[in-house]
Amino acid sequence: MQGDPSLWAVALNTWDIRRRPQLGRGALRRFQEQRLRQLIAHAYDRVPYYRELFDRHGLAPERVRTLADLERVPITTRRTLQALPLEQIVARGFDPKKLSAHTTSGSSGRPITIRRSRREGWLLDAVRRRAMIGYGLRRGDVKAVIKTPDGMPQPRWRQELRLRVRGTINQLVDCHLPLPEVVARLRELRPAIVECYPGVLARIARDIDPAELRALRLRFITTAGEVLTPAMREQATAAFGVPVFDVYASWEFNLLAWECPQRGAYHVSDDAVILEVLRDGRPAAPGERGVVVGTALHSFAMPLIRYEQGDLVTRGAEGCLCGAPFSTISEIQGRMIDHFPLPDGRVVHPYRLTTPIRDACPWIRELQAIQLAPDRLVMKLVAHPHPSPDELDRVRALAAAQLGPAVRFQVEVVPEIPLEASGKFRPYRSSVYSDYAGIALRR
């Protein structure tokens, strides 16, 4: 596919990703700007959406050469990309059928399908692996990933191949299983590392005997996908007896930032993304909070240039106190996802409820599920086109299949779902129990 890195370029880049932390801030910045120029030229030539955007703003691609020039490029929102047909956003020369496609269905209230080539995926994996090696990942390690299942489990030959090439195996554990079964699965897999949503991890830490958790003899735990509060971290560290490191990732960018192993700040994956923190459209000063806008430096199949990720973070220093050359952020106010405790004693992860609905109802643009009482749930939907009564019945039936007959479920089609007072969009919240109740959120 034209525009896709050659295998040689992937190998060189992977090597660079490993050694870049030693090269210092200047080298990182040079890499970002060189990559930015390639990306802008490519997007203007081959992606109709960006050509039209640049032309409409009278911006010649040659005028975007440095990080400072980047602010000339208008910001693109998820809502804009979500509404565009494939041929507007996938670069000419890439065959969409050969790209991996992931729809951010469960994790975000506003779905978008992110496409990338296999080789682009390898590079982003290398960036993620670098962070894991910094935490103590070793060759031969099994990593158990406790998450909502997507797609088929990997066949055994692929696991073997991965073990040979990368030296590690990822094993998926369904986070919707009852917690004792999740722990039993971990005992079977004997992982050195567990990756988990903070909400599920906190529930395991609260509900399972710590002696059982310590007997797993993990080396460390990483959390991703949702906000890890200090209380959740304390509970998990105490129960498992190992350090918990938080990483900040999204389907759009893969690893955006990872917690400094010496703690305090998050290192930004500067060689994979140009991460801007904007406050009212201007760059936030260190210590100031703002919205994350990212430019994906390895995404040429479906470029994301100044794409508004939407999370709120505090901008940190250039270069971390630990000596790493990466820029830093802190206080990531990403997804806050409440689980739903039901009258029959089950605690349902919201993805369990919404993923089948989203898969069956392509007309859903935005979604919010709110648990008002143990037996009462409301789902707000922004729809296009407007659903028929039959389609709404379908939503009710799919919800009833997950929630059971004891829960009253109501669907509301609304023109818009308002943001929280903090400015965040919270797709799943519970008035019954929330790990995020009372946490101080600032704008």
Nearest to 194 by CA among 154, 243, 149, 161: 243
Adjacent-strand bridge partners of 143? 170, 193
Is residue 260 near Zn ion by the rule CB under 5 A? yes
Q: Shortest distance, CB of residue 267 to Zn ion, whole angstroms? A: 6
Could you tell me which stretch among 276-284, 313-321, 349-357, 364-372 binds Zn ion (CB under 5 A)?
Answer: 313-321
Q: Shortest distance, CB of residue 348 to Zn ion, whole angstroms? A: 37
Identify which of residues 21 and 93 has a Cβ nearer to Zn ion in the complex. Answer: 21
- Using left for φ > 0, alpha for ψ between -120 and 50, and beta otherwise, residue 246 falls in beta
Alpha-carbon distance of 381 to 368, in angstroms, equals: 7
Of 322, 372, 378, 383, the residue at the interface with Zn ion (CB under 5 A) is 322
> What token pair was written down for 210?
């710590």
Identify which of residues 192 and 320 has a Cβ nearer to Zn ion in the complex. Answer: 320
| Number of residues located near Zn ion, criterion CB under 5 A | 4
Could you tell me which stretch among 8-16, 292-300, 322-330, 387-395 binds Zn ion (CB under 5 A)?
Answer: 322-330
Cis bond upstream, residue 385 (ω within 30): yes
Q: Shortest distance, CB of residue 120 to Zn ion, whole angstroms? A: 27
Is residue 320 near Zn ion by the rule CB under 5 A? yes
Q: Shortest distance, CB of residue 319 to Zn ion, whole angstroms? A: 9
∠ CA 50-51-52, rounded to 5° = 90
Residues in region 83-112 near Zn ion by CB under 5 A: none
Distance between start and end Cα atoms, the chain: 43
Helix (H) or strand (E) holding 81: helix 78-82
The sign of the torsion formed by the CA atoms of 200, 206, 207, 208 equals positive
Q: Residue 203 in 3-state DSSP?
A: helix
Task: Give the other-Cβ count within 10 Å of 250's Cβ.
Answer: 23
Is residue 23 near Zn ion by the rule CB under 5 A? no
Under 8 Å between Cβ of 139 and 132: no
Under 8 Å between Cβ of 309 and 275: no
Identify which of residues 36 and 265 has a Cβ nearer to Zn ion in the complex. Answer: 265
Is residue 329 near Zn ion by the rule CB under 5 A? no
Could you tell me which stretch among 20-28, 36-44, 316-324, 427-435 binds Zn ion (CB under 5 A)?
Answer: 316-324
In which residue are the tokens 């070793």 written? 138
Could you tell me which stretch among 12-20, 31-39, 119-127, 323-331 binds Zn ion (CB under 5 A)?
Answer: 323-331
Could you tell me which stretch among 180-188, 255-263, 346-354, 405-413 binds Zn ion (CB under 5 A)?
Answer: 255-263
Q: Shortest distance, CB of residue 27 to Zn ion, whole angstroms? A: 17
Q: Shortest distance, CB of residue 175 to Zn ion, whole angstroms? A: 29
Of 301, 324, 337, 377, the residue at the interface with Zn ion (CB under 5 A) is 324
Identify which of residues 53 and 324 has a Cβ nearer to Zn ion in the complex. Answer: 324
Task: Give the other-Cβ count within 10 Å of 325's Cβ.
Answer: 20
Under 8 Å between Cβ of 78 and 112: yes
Identify which of residues 133 and 177 has a Cβ nearer to Zn ion in the complex. Answer: 133
> What token pair was written down for 239?
């129960």
32 burial type by CB count under 10 A (0-12 exposed, 13-18 middle, 19+ buried): buried
Adjacent-strand bridge partners of 100? 116
Could you tell me which stretch among 181-189, 217-225, 227-235, 321-329 binds Zn ion (CB under 5 A)?
Answer: 321-329
Identify which of residues 148 and 330 has a Cβ nearer to Zn ion in the complex. Answer: 330
Is residue 312 near Zn ion by the rule CB under 5 A? no
Chain residues in the site for Zn ion (CB under 5 A): 260, 320, 322, 324
